[in-house]
Amino acid sequence: MKELIIVATITARDGNAVLVREALEQVVPPSRAEAGCIRYDLHIDLGNHASFVMLEAWRDQAALDAHEATPHFQALIQAVAGKADVQIVKLNQVL
């Protein structure tokens, strides 16, 4: 089975870019340490410094489910609630 790829685009609402970025930065190290994590990389949009993209790769859906249940991921959800718009795309490689 091929890994599960996640592209999460997180766009901070006006005045919240610093807070959102700090919350995203805090979740990276513990997420990378998770057993099912293959990749967990935070990027910033060079054309919009209030927009961030998290590129993730997980062993499978179960690993992603476990990640979403962790205290550090739940803390991120609470920290950005109402302060950012989030779009999640889940992908599997075709070729």
pLDDT tens-digit readout, 42-77: 999 999 999 999 999 999 999 999 999 999 999 999
Q: What is the pLDDT of residues 48-57, one digit of tens each?
A: 999 999 999 9
81 class by beta-carbon count within 10 Å (0-12 exposed, 13-18 middle, 19+ buried): exposed
Q: What is residue 61's predicted lDDT score, i.e. its pLDDT? A: 95
CA pair distance 27, 42, nearest whole angstrom: 10
Q: How far is the C-alpha of 55 from the C-alpha of 78, rounded, in Å?
A: 20
Q: Break the chain into its structural domains and give their ranges.
A: 4-91
CATH class of 4-91: alpha beta
Given the DSSP bridges, would you call strands 4-12 and 37-45 parallel, antiparallel or unpaired?
unpaired
